[in-house]
Chains A and B, each alone.
Chain A
Amino acid sequence: MAVGENQQAGVRRGFATHLADGVRRFFHGDLWHSFTRSPVVMVSAVITVVFVASAIFAPLVAPYDPFDLASIDLLDSEIPPIWIEGGDPRFLLGTDDQGRGILSTMIYGARISLGVGFASVLFAMVLGVGLGLLSGYLGGTVDAIIMRIADVQLTFPAILIALLIDGLSRTVLPRDLHGEIWFYVLVLAIGLSFWVQYARTVRGSAMVERSKEYVQAAQVIGIPPLLIMLRHVLPNVMGPVLVIATINLAIAVITEATLSFLGVGVPPTSPSLGTLIRVGNDFLFSGSWWITIFPGAALAILVLAVNLLGDWLRDALNPKLR
């Protein structure tokens, strides 16, 4: 038996082979199969990818830079979309009250919306998963304290907590400082209102995993608790977390839009989709419906697509539904 050779091969197999292995497994796996079987999910994925890509490459995709004051002309204000009489071929979807092209502003707005969305979901996930792991694995007093905090927070609507934190930061921080760090304030506000869901899910799974024998085996070997949590328990509780994260991305984008619509989120100087909707709202009845309708429709489509993806992921990863 060529045992020595096998060992050598085992050593030589590097990261690249593992990656190729993983990619091959993915495309042969159940997940990819169920993905290709569902046209709705594929369309959702394409929409999401288009949004994310255009947000990332906004300067390349957008016809104009809405923040470049030199390219904005007040004379161009409130031009309707090109297919309506009076439309300007330069502005596909018309312009807003300051003469900024709606399409360009939307692309940059989606950038801010998705940026805040991703960052706050990531923040909520790290916080929630961390606290949930501690709670579920350690149990006892730590568990009781973390879960009671979570219970109390659950009694407040998420948007209320986000409003509270945002309002607090405006009062505490000097005005110009808040103008600079609004992104982080928003991420903190939205993230803090979502961590409970992750914490509860992870806590439940961690309690199940903790009693399994592979965790006890690690304890007998003498692995420190923190390492057991990160290396053994965490990978085994991440499945549901990814599903929640996908669905939460849509909720986070909406929350940001709501906050911005209420005028407490993103400052008007760097408009997100929510800010655009709010600004356009003032012109809705004066006939310039396009200022608010297009960002609104974009937001609705984005959220719907991400939600559908999340739902599909939840079902596809659920072994009972296979």
Chain B
Amino acid sequence: MAEARPVQAVDDVLVEVEGLAKLFDVSPPLLNRLLQGQKRVLLTAVDDVSFKIPRGKTFSLVGESGCGKSTVARLVVGLHAATRGRILFEGADMAGVTERAEAAALRKRLQMIFQDPYASLNPRWRVSDIIAEPIRAHKLIDGRRAIAARVGELLEQVGLAAADGEKFPHEFSGGQRQRISIARALASNPEFLVCDEPTSALDVSVQAQILNLMKALQRELGLTYLFISHDLAVVYHISDYVGVMYLGRLVEWGEAKALFRRPQHPYTRMLLDAIPDLEMTGRPRIPVAGEVPSPIAPPSGCHFHPRCPFAEERCRREAPQPLATAAGEVSCHAVAEGRLPEVERAAPPAATET
């Protein structure tokens, strides 16, 4: 505990998310509701999530499928409108920016890298046009020649050749497409990149290349990342901070190394135990037990209690509040009451070293 630093006191915060919530209406059609007396059904995808991302750092969100991490990414870049809560970019509320010029100025400062490199590039556009789209949309550079030069520069920056701009997306492999996707995201000189599982559709060897490219770009350009992933080895490799989401809620967040070494929340421990590990070959492992409950009818109290080995009556009744830890914050009654044994884990084997 000696090396624990007060991470909340970071002052240069680029992006701050405050009490973010998103409800999706998944009701049956109006006619069914009227005739069959069915009720409106709301799905709580994101429930009161708050975190801060310091400038130049990587904040990762992890969790099982359906826990709302991708929805957070989409909310942050404005693909969805938040039901509640605020997203602050350099302290300014993004929802408050309604004027067209201001919105465009903000838009070019944050970009997104998508999960599926086969769907994220328009199949009928040449790569040079795909990468030039943000430049043309925001009128960052004038003149065909200058734009072509910039596109070539971007292509080289992500490890492709300038001449590749002439080709169509289908002429590239998955990893190369993801590089194109990154080049497009960098085209408007953004400061903040939201990466929604950018490596999960790629081969493991290619994953490492893309991750190393992203880390190199971060160092070079001072980028800030919000990184969404379910692959903890990837997250460990790239993150400065990690947030663990479960059924729409952020159950724990903290400085990456400390969180991996001393996970507090029972769910975080369960996830970390599930990482396959060469050293553990042959030894019994605790499997991730149970299924994620439906976000339409989440469990009462702490959402995790049906799967939690430490759950008590209080966990079923009231939702836990965030509690400051050495690394960050955790929302768990058992931790608050000191019922949990402290664990010290070896760091997971990083997928690759830079």
A residues whose Cβ falls under 8 Å from a Cβ of B: 1, 3, 6-7, 9-11, 13, 212-214, 216-223, 232, 235-236
Contacts and interface: CB of A to CB of B under 8 A. Distances in A.
22 contacts: A1-B161, A3-B152, A6-B163, A7-B162, A10-B128, A10-B152, A10-B165, A10-B166, A212-B119, A217-B112, A217-B120, A217-B181, A217-B184, A220-B79, A220-B107, A221-B107, A221-B111, A222-B107, A222-B138, A223-B137, A232-B122, A235-B122
Nearest to A234: B124
Given A220-B107, A222-B103, A213 B119 contact: yes
B246 interface: no
B340 interface: no
A202 to B, nearest CB: 16
B137 A221 contact: yes
A235 B166 contact: no
Interface string B87-121: 00000000000000001100110111011100111
A54 B278 CA distance: 77
Interface in B137-175: 137-138, 144-145, 148-149, 152, 156, 161-163, 165-166
Given A212-B119, A222-B108, 10 more contacts: A3-B156, A3-B161, A10-B162, A213-B115, A214-B121, A217-B112, A220-B77, A220-B112, A221-B137, A236-B122
Interface string B6-29: 000000000000000000000000
B133 interface: yes
Contacts of B276: none
Contacts of A222: 103-104, 107-108, 137-138
Contacts of A212: 119-120
Contacts, number: 78
Among all A-B residue pairs, the 8 with the closest Cβ atoms:
A213-B120, A6-B163, A222-B107, A213-B114, A7-B152, A214-B122, A213-B119, A235-B124
A213 B79 contact: no
A219 B114 CA distance: 12
B135 to A, nearest CB: 10
A223 B152 CA distance: 22
Q: Name which of B148, B181, B184 has the most chain A CB atoms within 10 A of its CB.
A: B148
A235 B114 CA distance: 21
Contact of B133 (A6, A7, A216, A218): A218
Nearest to B169: A214
B264 interface: no
A240 B25 CA distance: 32
B78 interface: yes
A173 to B, nearest CB: 42
Contacts of B122: 214, 232, 235-236
A219 B194 CA distance: 14
B188 interface: yes
Contacts of A219: 79
B190 to A, nearest CB: 10
A6 B165 CA distance: 10
B124 A213 contact: no
Given A221-B107, A221-B137, A222-B104, A11 B148 contact: yes
A212 B123 CA distance: 11
Point out which of A6, A10, A232, A236 has the most chain B C-beta atoms below 10 A from its C-beta. Answer: A10
A222 B152 CA distance: 23
B78 A221 contact: no
Given A1-B161, A9-B163, A221 B134 contact: yes
B114 A217 contact: yes
A216 B79 contact: yes
Nearest to B106: A222
